[in-house]
Chains A and B, each alone.
Chain A
């Protein structure tokens, strides 16, 4: 393989992996801290993408435009949505056993999909790429690479770093990490669990929505985008170990590499490779790479 092409694939793998990490980190936090299996998490990715599509023109009109402004608006809206959803629906799931959670969130997926269909229709939409992120950039004079994909990677890394700092350097982060390894203890320590859960959930939704919004210009906005990402993210969470952000990051990178290079090297088996990877890892480490708690 040509070294330039190899580098391109590496960058693609990085970008895809970081995108996965954004979605998976929310999922692993929610499962690790609140013990909720949320099958509808992929829907939040889809919602983020549709928000980017729907809010773009509105942001242009009222706030003077800007792609970054749209992204921030999506994140804010998604966080609010997540906060409300937790209060209205997900907080009832704590007392339920995991099977019931699986089923209720499965029902939620159906509801989200149809609501989207009712509100925005079933068409595939495009989200315009902002001018300053269009085009390609030259890498060392050897080859060119799309600017936007670098932007995605940059955002992914920045958010990842931010997440790391919040989790390891702030009091809130400390509580979140404590909660991930021992749910009963944080309640015993007198920390307001309800608010903590709501914040974590809102953050998870916001992360997934951000991923969807950022990916929208590249992948376009279409009905099935939620379920595709959901399955892969569950794979990432499971490989990485439930509740572990570090694990989610590593696993997302792994999956990014396998998927990207898999499509290039073994196109016929491309869809299967990720599952082979997961099965292989679980058979060696039945609880993921970095099990929490």
Chain B
């Protein structure tokens, strides 16, 4: 039996300790907002927060998490910065197909929590791990700056 704190709720379930959090979220808990893109932490679609820090859940074994707080895309909007990021994403119409955007928003929110007024180089460093095949990068950058000012 594994017990995890996810979006301020305790979830109990059965899973092998080496099972990545991504699949627990999606297949066991039905939280499908976190996406599978590559399985090797190259694309960022699976990004969640662990005690506020961005992590790639596709390579995060549930046995290693302990009591640390997990936030997913389903819960990040309940935070001030998360809500600002989501609003900026819609204000600037960042989204095209949207599949990568859960990960983008999680990475962007973590960035703004750590660096409230990021420079372009901060944005580059924080967001380079999130691939967008539709090419929404121009608007992602603008939306991060927009959220920072909100």
Q: Do A and B actually bind?
A: no
